[in-house]
Every structure is written in C-alpha cells, then in structure tokens.
Structure 1
C-alpha cells in the first residue's frame, strides 16, 4: 500500500516538503480558495502525489480527509508515538466541516446520458474523427462533438450538435427505413453477414498465440527493426480484431427475430437494443458543420451511410 502523502511511511515520520505543500493548500482552502485553485498552486510549485502525479481536486480532498493527517486513527483517537503531523486535530476537524458544507452546496449530480450514436457510429464531417458524447458544462444539455486536437489525435474539434437534435433526426430516418417493404428480410441477411464476420474474427483471435509463436521463430532470421515492426503490426492487428469483435457481439443478438412490427418495437425498445439496431442498419452517421445558421433543420447536417 502506498504511503500517505506528507509522511515517510504509514507509521508516521513527517516528510517536510510534502507536509509544507499540504499545509499551504489547507490555508488556501480556509481562505475560501477553491480546491482547483489549491491544486493549481501545488502543481505550479512542483508538488506531486506519492505516485508522482499532479494534484487533482478529488485527490487533494481524499488525502486531507485521512485522519492520519492529524495523527488520528480511524476512530478519531490520537495514535500513540505517531510524531509530528501535517495538520493539528483542530485544523483537520475544520477541514472536514468545510468539505461537508461544500458537499451540501453542490447541486445533485445529473443522471448520466445514454448516448445512441457513440462507439464509432457517428463521425465529424470535416475530419472524419469519431464523435464523442459530452456536456459543455455540468448543467448543459448532452451534445455530440468532435474532440479537440491533441498530440497523436488529428481531430479538428470544430463540429458539435445537441444530442436530441442528432438522435431525433437519425431516429426518424431509422423509422422510415423500418417501414419500407422488405426491411425485415434485409435485416435477417445483414445479421447473418455480421454473425459470419464475428465468427471469422473469433477464429482469428483464437489463433493469436500460434501466430506469435511463428513470429518468434523468425526472430533470428529478421533484422531487429523488421522483427519489432512485424511484432508491433501483429499486436495492433489483434487489438483491432478484438475491438471489432466486441462491437459486433453487441449487434448480432438484437432480439428482432420474432418481431413483425419493427416501427413499434423501435419506439419501445431499450436504448441498448436501439443502439444495436442502428449498428446493424447504419455504417456511419456523418455530422456536417453547422454552416453558420444555414442548417436550421438538423437532418440537413447529416449524411447517413446505410449498410
């Protein structure tokens, strides 16, 4: 078990530098500074957790809420021979009272939104990066967005759409598709194709150990750089195959074999099965940029690639 920040071990022994940082952070909290501001100060000063990570608000609260910060046991009694402490018992109790007061002032957490078109079902129409579900703020409406670019990620971050506008529009298109004559038969064929692909991927994954064994036999024949490249490519191939297999396994068991009114089924189906049916019918939903107000109808921003 990792030692507690501020001490040399769980039995005590003050860590002077870490204790100084925690005491200053406590002072900032008592001065009505936010937890995030206290963490920013600690990180800017070079203070780190025992794992070497930067401080985050929830980590700071967890550490300062440990009774050993004041040399107390889990019952709140002084630990005999613990030695010098980061906080005094009075400071520790004041901190707990402050955290409790702040918790009461926090608005109740919003229920997590169950997005219909994540996991690669929707993509940015500008950069073709997968859209992600998010909220602009804790009180904001659920939205889909292209994530901002960062190192190793070529997303553009320029496309965003409210979840209800995107999902309602796609739902209307799916309903229209389900009402077409022959849709039931087409779904049967699509599911058969997806099940066949899943079986191929399953067999491919099960043969991974044999392929790696054959590759290891070539270690002495290939130059090191070629062997490393082949091993890397093989591992990436297995990751891709297993990821695709997990996705297909969510689709192929969608319970529509005995359903004759697909439109009625869609309207009452749990989100899990709606998402699965969308994955069977649709390869990708491409979301275009808003066009600075030109696309008042959200369906005008969508390009659906049907399977």
Structure 2
C-alpha cells in the first residue's frame, strides 16, 4: 500500500518536507474558488512538476481521494463518525479539511456539468493514424474533447494518438459546412437528395420487415422439425447480422432525411442556433468522413494545416442509392479537403 502524500512513512508520524508545501498549495487552490475542480487542481500540480507518491501524474480521482482523507489534517473518523485527533501531525488545519468536506458536498449537490452534445461522434470523425472512430471524452480539465481511445485488454480501441478540443474541431468543421451551404445550387441539391434518402428509408423498412418474417419462419421450421438445430442457429445468426446492418443503415438514412434546413439568407445564424441533431444531419449528408491527425506538438490549440481532412460527398450519388435494393450508405467518391 503506498504511503499517503505529504507523509514520509506509513505510520504518518513524519511529514515529508518536499510534499508539504505542494499539498498546501493544492488545498488552497481548491478552496479559493468553488468553481475550481479537482481536475483543475491536478492540471496545475502536474504543470508544476509535482507527482504522486508512485511517480504518476495527478488525476481528478487521485486529488479527490487525497482531499477526502482526514489524515492530511492529522484527523480520523471515530466510531460515531465524527472527526477526532489521529495522534499524528497534519499537513493542513482541521478548518481547512472541514472546508474541503463542505466543498465536496457542494460539488455533489450543485448543478453537475450537463452532458456535452457532441457533433461528430458515432463515426462522424475518425483517427487519421489508425482509422478508429474518435469518441467524445472530457479532458483532465473537464472540457469536452474528442480522442482515439487506446486498445483495452481485449484489443478493442485504436492507437490512442489523437486528441482534439471539441469546440476547436466542431467550429472548424462548421465553418466549412456553412461555406459549402452558401455555394449556389447546393441547397437545391440537398433538398433533392433528402427526397431520395426518404425513399431509401422506406426500402430499408421493407427489408427489416422481410428479415423479421424470415426469422419467424425459421423458428417455425425448427419447431416442426423440418430443419436441424445447427441449421436454426446458422440461419438465426445470418438473419441477426443482416438485421443489425439494416437497422444501422436505417438510422443513418433517417438522420439525413429528418431535418429542416434553415433560411438560405441567414445560414450562419441558423447554424449557430440550430439543434445539434440538425447540424449532425446536415454534416452527415455533406461529409462522408472527417479525419483528424495528431497535432505537431502537445498542447497545440489550433487546427494546423493538414490536421483535419474533410471528405465531401457527391450528393447526386444519393439518387442511385435509393434504387439499391440493399440500401447501402452512399460511397465516398469525393475529394479530400485539408483544414488549412
């Protein structure tokens, strides 16, 4: 079990001189303003070069555990749950620790951060390094961002090399989408393409109903012993895979079909005020994918040339798609555009 930060030994009888001042500064930063989160404290501490007892960087959770431990104030919880003297020195005062407890309670009962409504999740943007879909993930400071999650123990995930601020990426993509909408004739193409996509949704509805009927029929055949159990399992797996694919394509098509584009004369204002669902739909309709590459250096807060590559659809291709009996999403025949 690692020693507690601020103390030189497991018995906590001696303070560790080089950790006393950092801990006191961390506590002071947390108490000076209730808007300062544990993640903010962690970012500051790491920036100062301070590390935990095992040499790792501070995280939101590790700061929280430290601040909730009464031993840092030379206290412990008695049998009745009240704070009592622990018989060893403390790094901070009892008053400061009680203030930390009050701060923690405020954080629990206060308004939690609203879930961020990401524009480019669900495959909307991918890692330029490994093609894995980027996922929404808050940074250590609590701000929304996108990241390529590294592989887990089961091998699921990507390379983990790409992270980007959500507002930065979405603002960049939004500028190009609005610019595309302002081109002559694009609005008419969009409305025409939506009509074809609505037909595609109807085709997929029929495909799904047919697959569900086939699944019922296979079950009936097995129940009357006309097919073996192995044949039943194989057929059900094939049908289940087809249903999953068809339902996914239907959601994809519905997203493009079920939105209302704002007035052409004020597209910028429409984009800035439109619900994320509408912006996601128009983005999906215009862009087949958004590739994000690593920044040239850690901490870069701009979209450098070539870091974000936009792949545009040819809207005319959607018309052929509506006649495709399989209902596949339109192919990407478009060019790439560098975010410079």
TM-score interval w.r.t. the shorter chain?
0.5 to 0.7
Question: Closer, same or farther in 2 for the Cα pair 1:298/1:215, shift >3 Å?
Answer: farther
- Which aligned pairs between 1:1-307 and structure 2 lie closer than 5 A? 90-91=80-81, 101=102, 103-106=104-107, 108=110, 109-137=112-140, 139-150=141-152, 151=154, 153-216=156-219, 224-225=229-230, 227-256=232-261, 259=264, 261-292=266-297, 297-298=303-304, 300-307=306-313
Q: In the alignment, is the contact (CA less than 8 A) between 1:198 and 1:248 conserved in 2?
A: yes
Q: Please report how far the alpha carbon of residue 256 of structure 1 lies from its aligned counterpart in structure 2 after TM superposition.
A: 2.2
Question: Closer, same or farther in 2 for the Cα pair 1:222/1:288, shift >3 Å?
Answer: farther
Q: Please report how far the alpha carbon of residue 102 of structure 1 lies from its aligned counterpart in structure 2 after TM superposition.
A: 6.6
TM-score by length of 2: 0.55
Could you tell me which runs of 5 or more consecutive residues in structure 1 were left unpaired when the two chains were aligned: 1-56, 58-88
How many residues align? The count is: 217
1:285 counterpart SS class: strand
Q: In the alignment, is the contact (CA less than 8 A) between 2:125 and 2:133 conserved in 1?
A: yes
Q: In the alignment, is the contact (CA less than 8 A) between 1:116 and 1:274 conserved in 2?
A: yes
Question: Closer, same or farther in 2 for the Cα pair 1:113/1:299, shift >3 Å?
Answer: farther
Q: Please report how far the alpha carbon of residue 187 of structure 1 lies from its aligned counterpart in structure 2 after TM superposition.
A: 0.5
Q: In the alignment, is the contact (CA less than 8 A) between 2:169 and 2:303 conserved in 1?
A: no
The 1-side partners of 2:254 and 2:247 are apart by 10
Question: Closer, same or farther in 2 for the Cα pair 1:241/1:299, shift >3 Å?
Answer: farther
The 2-side partners of 1:232 and 1:248 are apart by 24
2:137 counterpart SS class: strand
Q: In the alignment, is the contact (CA less than 8 A) between 1:134 and 1:144 conserved in 2?
A: yes
Q: In the alignment, is the contact (CA less than 8 A) between 2:256 and 2:284 conserved in 1?
A: yes
270-279 or 103-112: which moved more? 103-112
Q: Please report how far the alpha carbon of residue 154 of structure 1 lies from its aligned counterpart in structure 2 after TM superposition.
A: 4.3
RMSD: 3.4
Q: In the alignment, is the contact (CA less than 8 A) between 2:146 and 2:163 conserved in 1?
A: yes
Per-residue CA distance 1:201-250 (angstroms, 9 max, x = gap)? 11112223311134346656766555423321211221222233234323
Per-residue CA distance 1:39-58 (angstroms, 9 max, x = gap)? xxxxxxxxxxxxxxxxxx9x
Q: In the alignment, is the contact (CA less than 8 A) between 1:178 and 1:263 conserved in 2?
A: no
Question: Closer, same or farther in 2 for the Cα pair 1:291/1:190, shift >3 Å?
Answer: farther
Q: In the alignment, is the contact (CA less than 8 A) between 1:143 and 1:161 conserved in 2?
A: yes
The 2-side partners of 1:268 and 1:248 are apart by 23
Could you tell me which runs of 5 or more consecutive residues in structure 2 were left unpaired when the two chains were aligned: 1-60, 62-78, 84-97, 314-340
Per-residue CA distance 1:99-133 (angstroms, 9 max, x = gap)? x8574253742232211111211111122221111
Q: In the alignment, is the contact (CA less than 8 A) between 2:263 and 2:270 conserved in 1?
A: no
The 2-side partners of 1:240 and 1:149 are apart by 24
Q: In the alignment, is the contact (CA less than 8 A) between 2:291 and 2:310 conserved in 1?
A: yes
The 2-side partners of 1:279 and 1:287 are apart by 16
TM-score by length of 1: 0.60
